[in-house]
Amino acid sequence: MPGALRAFAHRDFRLFFCGQGVSLIGTWMQSVAQSWLVLELTNSPFRLGLVGTLQFAPVLFLSFFAGALADRLPKRRLLIATQSLMCAQALVLAALVTRGHVQYWHVALMAAVYGLANTVDMPTRQAFIVEMVGRESLRSAIALNSTLFNGARVVGPALAGLVIARWGTGLAFFFNGVSFLAVIAALAMLHASGRPRPSSGRSLRDEIAEGLTYALRTPRIAFVLSLVLCVSAFFFNYNTLVPLLARDILHQDAHGFGLLMTAVGGGAVAGAIALASLGTERPPATVLVGSAVALGVATILVAGVSRFGVAMALLTVMGFCGMVFMTGANTTVQLTVPDELRGRVMALHTLMFAGMTPFGAFLVGTVTEALGARAGFLVTGAGGLVSVVAVSLWWRWYRRRR
């Protein structure tokens, strides 16, 4: 097969890819429905940001523990457990909305439950990929997963907008709950079990410290994770900013909101495909830094839009740049780290990627509550741009010194 599609030569990856594709469409439907439901219940940008904080807070406190679990337990069984818990929380939300009993604290609690399951799921899933395809097909698998994730980001929000406008948010939550059955069935049919490495006899604390020490003492890993921290904290707050852009600036309904999120997903799919076509095993640092800087500039420009078409175009650029950066960073880390440390280092990557989101969501919610949606885009764009440039200058200084 062509290099970009090499991972499809592996039966397990094909099964996992198909099951995850169905599930991810449902996940993006719930993401849109959850944001819209919070605005309907509270009309508060601050509370919308608070839900995002609660959803990603478990990553901040438990990611190292989750990475150690991924290295110690059978990964396939662990993934079945996390996917089942996320399925249950979606169905609970669907029942509460459909029966008319849903309150804000229900949404906040279920967001925290989802975050807890996702904290274990993310490093385990990323560490499991190499066991399905091997290192020779790893870059292809990462790129294809990113394409799938963002293809679902195109379909899911658009479908959610139509469903919410016609039948309400309850049906979107129900679709997500049912969609998890596809990936659970796929996991049950895999040959790879993700067996844990032989026990070292060391404590969980010592193993976590080993992974952290490796990441901090490996310059390339430290540089990439620092960039991921900056980009995640400032730029990846779509679930908080985009609904406010749709409602308060562009005066759109749920359908318009879904189309804006679809634009982000469409750009991300193009970004994943573009990165997969690169001939290098690891993207150069200039690609990572350039895409992060372009993402910051596009975020600032959104603060001044007043037309729906212009907003769609800028969000497409943001999706493209964000995906080039995140896929490139993921590939760099996965191809650098040794197999025996993969779960713990990917947990650190998860911490930088999702663990900083609570701070970003809280910042965005606070700023937009006080100053409006335009200020939210301006502050996060400028803050992220400054932090990315600072990390890049440090990396340049370090390389010259070495």
- 317 assigned to some structural domain: yes
Q: How far apart are CA 210 and CA 344, in angstroms?
A: 9
2-11, 164-173, 292-301: the lowest-pLDDT one: 2-11
- 1 assigned to some structural domain: no
- 153 assigned to some structural domain: yes
The CATH code of the domain that includes 145 is: 1.20.1250.20
Name the pTM for this structure.
Answer: 0.70
31: helix, coil or strand?
helix
Task: Name which of 59, 189, 172 is nearest 114 in CA terms.
Answer: 59
Question: pLDDT of 359-372, one tens digit each?
Answer: 777 777 778 778 87
Question: pLDDT of 191-220, one tens digit each?
Answer: 877 676 665 566 667 777 887 888 878 888
Q: Which residue has the higher pLDDT, 245 or 104?
A: 104
The domain total for the chain is: 1
pLDDT, mean of residues 224-228: 89
- 111 assigned to some structural domain: yes
- 27 assigned to some structural domain: yes
Question: pLDDT of 111-136, one tens digit each?
Answer: 999 989 988 888 888 878 878 887 77
Compute and round to an integer the Cα radius of gyration of the chain: 20
pLDDT, mean of residues 259-279: 76
Q: Which residue has the higher pLDDT, 54 or 95?
A: 95
Domain that includes residue 208, residue range: 9-193+203-401
Q: Give the burial class of 166: count Cβ atoms within 10 A of its Cβ; 0-12 exposed, 13-18 middle, 19 or more buried.
A: exposed
For residue 62, what are the CA distances in angstroms to 112, 122, 126, 152, 232? 13, 12, 16, 27, 18
- 198 assigned to some structural domain: no
Q: How far apart are the first and last CA of the chain?
A: 40
pLDDT at 277: 67
DSSP letter at 341?
G
Question: pLDDT of 341-390, one tens digit each?
Answer: 777 787 788 778 776 766 777 777 778 778 877 888 888 888 889 999 99
Q: Which residue has the higher pLDDT, 141 or 163?
A: 163
Question: pLDDT of 308-333, one tens digit each?
Answer: 889 999 999 998 988 888 888 888 88
Q: How far apart are CA 45 and CA 372, in angstroms?
A: 9
- 132 assigned to some structural domain: yes
pLDDT, mean of residues 77-95: 94
Widest distance between CA atoms in the chain: 64
- 222 assigned to some structural domain: yes
